[in-house]
A = this chain, B = another copy of it.
Amino acid sequence: MLLALCSANPSKRKPYTPCKNLVFYYHDIIYNGVNAANATSSIVAARQGANLTKLATQFHFGDIVVFDDPITLDNNLHSTPIGRAQGLYVYDGKNIFTAWFSLALVFNGPHHQGTITLAGADPTLQKTRTLTVTGGTGDFFMHRGIATL
């Protein structure tokens, strides 16, 4: 995930550097009925006839997944997390794989303190997809921008 962030709230304490880029990875392991110890996300709602341990047929339409995914600086699930991606995604395509994301990136470490609020459409099969950064707190107060998956 590549984030491009801008703020209209320049700090008085340091030179004004309104835009910044962040790059990191997050890791999602969906609960399938037998992997409770390792799973980082669960289906919690599904349309009539579907269930909560298997993604629904027909592009998973209607499945809502809640997640608590570790964020790492490299593409390694076992690296020390620098934060958590927490929120939900919803498969909302009837004729194509696509999802709606609502989440926060929660940072609480030496690199960053604060949260980034994200929302947007994720057309899963495209190589790059873009969510919108709708707000932030702490280090990211009043920030906006985009996140590219």
Contacts and interface: CB of A to CB of B under 8 A. Distances in A.
Interface residues of A, number: 59
A97 B84 CA distance: 13
Contact of A42 (B48, B98, B120): B48
Interface in A20-64: 31, 33, 40, 42-48, 51-53, 61-64
Question: Dominant SS at the A interface?
Answer: strand
18 contacts: A8-B8, A31-B48, A42-B61, A44-B62, A44-B64, A45-B45, A47-B52, A61-B66, A84-B93, A88-B90, A102-B102, A106-B123, A117-B134, A119-B119, A119-B134, A120-B135, A130-B137, A132-B136
A86 interface: yes
A1 interface: no
Contacts of A64: 44-45, 64, 66, 88
Interface string A117-149: 101110100000011111111100110111000
A115 B130 contact: yes
Interface of A: 6, 8-9, 31, 33, 40, 42-48, 51-53, 61-64, 66-68, 84, 86-88, 90-95, 98, 100, 102-104, 106, 115, 117, 119-121, 123, 130-138, 141-142, 144-146
